[in-house]
Each structure stands twice: as C-alpha cells, then as structure tokens.
Structure 1
C-alpha cells in the first residue's frame, strides 16, 4: 500500500503480487474499492 500526495488530493494505491489470473485481480480490485468506500464513508460521518 502506498499513500502519496497528488495536488490537493491524496492517492492510495494497493499492489498485490502473485495473483492467479485476471479474475482474481478483478476480485481484489473490487474488494479494495469496497474497503476504501467504507473508510471514506466513516470519515465523512465524522
């Protein structure tokens, strides 16, 4: 996971190696999108 500034935003990137195939890669992408959405929702509720 990397966190870096990008103008007036912050970019969070996740990198996973040794995924079996494109299907697993897509599943992990959806998983992390969901995690980031839940974090954003929690922060917005503050």
Structure 2
C-alpha cells in the first residue's frame, strides 16, 4: 500500500474508533510496525493526527 493510502486508512481508523493500536493499523494497512509508527509521526508533524 502506498504511503498516501496508508495515511488515509490510519486517519479513517482513528476517526471511527476511540482506541486504535499500532497492531490494528498494521493489520489494516499490511505495513510493518516501523512503517506505521513512521506514518503516525508524519501525520502528527503535519498536524493531521491528534
């Protein structure tokens, strides 16, 4: 899955649920924990994830 697609999935999951784990996001995106954590950091830096 491309980075932009992962970001959309992560943002959608966070909006839909009160609690989302890195493992949940790995399952949803098919990405590794390291990749998901990097994506979370990127989204946080962009102020898109709070």
**TM-score normalised by length of structure 2:** 0.42
Output the TM-score relative to the length of structure 1: 0.44
The structure that is helix-richer by fraction is 2
Higher relative contact order (CA 8 A, sep 6+): 2
Larger Rg: 1
